[in-house]
């Protein structure tokens, strides 16, 4: 049977809407592998608001099996066999137990279908009048298979929150909505500065949940779409997202995580740090490529105080990196460090997906002797 419910989950909870604590991984039935009963379906459309175990739905929601066709379009599910599609004004939501006051990051995979311009409203509602939300555009494709994973962060205002994914748009065809799969949650640990680095999370080891079997990384949205960055210590000071990548699927200069600047000059990360006016500092970082067929001439620009540096990198798309150093004099008690890409680059696999230079191991230290700014 294509559409099935699990007996085990049904025994756990009659309505499957009990809040469960999650700190690092998929939400209960977060990959939608347990679905509605046949009696709760009309074709692919889910007809009961509690038909999908652990989720509550509203609006035009479809339960999609991998390989399902819509006209000439084949709908592919990235992980497992099932996903949901949010049609006109559709919404899925789930209650989760959390720790009040702590920061979390949501990660989910999404793909647009027939409409060219699609977006998702991601929101968290605690048991109070407060409501935290962000509108994420999903029309730009950054992976070769049409699916991207997105992250969005929030601070829990209660011990139990309700996580919602909502398609706010209204199309002529009600089925023209985004596909959703693999919804996860991760508790974010606040990074600290160390004796060898004035920057927090300079190696990017702390960040959103990365699906173990997903080979396309996780997009971190710009600050205009998320007040709380899923990349602790850093803000995305640009119009487009950056990509959070792991060493299991990409070439990473140092450690297990790095950031790929995938949207040219519209892709930048920044961090504000306390400095001493007129004191000299050294900013060092690694620039490379992710071994993802991203080929060509790349440039990463670094800005700090009144200092700036352009770091060219000629990528063959097979991995590798170089290190760079910017010396600058602090002009105030707070200095903003910015790393930004210059050129738009597309992957060499003919997918049309965007890519860019990788940055990692970003360090800021004070230096005793005054040096000529380069």
Q: φ, ψ for residue 38 (rounded to 5)?
A: -60, -35
pLDDT of residue 328: 97
Confidence at residue 69, expressed as pLDDT on a 0 to 100 scale: 72
Decide: 276 and 330 in contact? Cβ < 8 Å.
Answer: yes
Question: Cα–Cα–Cα angle for 32, 36, 38, nearest 5°?
Answer: 140
What's the rounded Cα separation, in Å, for the pair 141 and 94?
A: 27
The reported pLDDT for the residue numbered 71 is 65
CB neighbours (10 Å) of residue 139?
11
3-state helix, strand, coil in the chain (%, to 5): 5, 45, 50
Task: Give me the half-sphere count of Cα atoms (radius 13 Å) on the Cβ side of residue 75.
Answer: 27
Exposed, middle or buried, 295 (CB in 10 Å: 0-12/13-18/19+)? Answer: middle
8 Å CB contact between 135 and 121: yes
pLDDT of residue 72: 65
Q: What is the pLDDT of residue 113?
A: 79
- Closest listed residue to residue 291, CA positions, set 242, 342, 340, 357: 357
Q: What is the pLDDT of residue 1?
A: 39
Q: What is the pTM of this model?
A: 0.90
H or E stretch at 284: strand 280-289
Domains of the chain: 7-187 (2.60.120.260), 218-366 (2.60.120.260)
Euclidean distance between CA atoms 97 and 301, whole angstroms? 42
Q: CA 108 to CA 219: how far, in whole Å?
A: 10
Look at residue 58 in the predicted model and tell me its pLDDT. Answer: 96
List per-residue pLDDT tens for the chain, 374 residues long. 333 433 344 434 444 556 787 778 999 999 999 999 999 999 999 999 999 999 999 999 999 998 777 766 677 777 778 999 999 899 999 999 999 999 999 999 998 877 667 889 999 997 444 568 889 888 777 877 778 999 999 999 999 999 999 998 877 788 788 899 999 999 999 999 988 999 999 999 999 999 998 889 999 999 877 778 999 999 998 889 999 999 999 999 999 999 999 999 899 999 999 999 999 999 999 999 999 999 999 999 999 999 999 999 999 999 999 999 999 999 999 999 999 999 889 888 877 788 999 999 999 999 976 544 43
pLDDT (0 to 100) of residue 20: 80
**CA gap 321, 330 in Å, rounded:** 28
**pLDDT reported for residue 116:** 67
- Measure the CA–CA gap between 22 and 20, rounded to whole angstroms: 6
Whole-number pLDDT of residue 3? 37
Whole-number pLDDT of residue 147 = 87
Chain-centroid distance of CA 320 in Å reads: 24
pLDDT of 6 reads: 37
């Amino acid at each position: 049977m294509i559409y099935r419910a699990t007996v085990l989950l049904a025994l756990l909870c009659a309505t499957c809407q009990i809040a469960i604590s999650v700190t690092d991984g998929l939400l209960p039935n977060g990959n939608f592998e347990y679905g509605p009963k046949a009696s709760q379906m009309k074709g692919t459309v889910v007809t009961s608001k509690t038909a999908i175990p652990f989720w509550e739905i509203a609006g035009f929601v479809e339960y999609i099996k991998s390989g399902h066709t819509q006209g000439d379009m084949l709908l592919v599910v990235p992980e497992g066999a099932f996903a949901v599609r949010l049609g006109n004004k559709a919404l899925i939501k789930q209650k989760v137990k959390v720790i009040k006051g702590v920061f979390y990051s949501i990660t989910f995979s999404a793909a647009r279908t027939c409409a060219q311009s699609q977006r998702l409203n991601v929101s968290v509602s605690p048991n109070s009048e407060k409501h935290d939300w962000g509108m994420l555009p999903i029309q730009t494709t950054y992976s070769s298979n049409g699916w991207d994973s997105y992250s969005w962060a929030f601070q829990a205002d209660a011990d139990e929150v309700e996580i919602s994914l909502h398609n706010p748009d209204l199309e002529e065809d009600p089925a023209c909505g985004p596909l959703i799969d693999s919804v996860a949650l991760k508790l974010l640990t606040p990074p600290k500065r160390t004796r060898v680095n004035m920057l927090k999370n300079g190696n990017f080891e702390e960040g959103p949940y990365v699906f173990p079997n997903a080979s396309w990384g996780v997009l971190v949205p710009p600050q205009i779409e998320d007040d709380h960055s899923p990349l602790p210590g850093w803000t995305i000071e640009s119009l487009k997202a950056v990509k959070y990548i792991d060493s299991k699927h990409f070439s990473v200069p140092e450690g297990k995580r790095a950031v790929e600047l995938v949207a040219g000059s519209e892709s930048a990360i920044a961090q504000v740090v306390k400095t001493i006016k007129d004191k000299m500092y050294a900013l060092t970082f690694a620039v490379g490529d992710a071994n993802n067929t991203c080929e060509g001439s790349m440039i990463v620009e670094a800005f700090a105080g009144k200092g700036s540096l352009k770091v060219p990198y000629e990528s063959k798309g097979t991995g590798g990196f170089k290190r760079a150093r910017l010396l600058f004099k602090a002009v105030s008690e707070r200095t903003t460090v910015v790393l930004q890409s210059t050129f738009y680059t597309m992957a060499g696999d003919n997918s049309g997906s965007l890519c860019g230079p990788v940055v990692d191991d970003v360090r800021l230290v004070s230096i005793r002797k005054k040096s000529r700014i380069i």
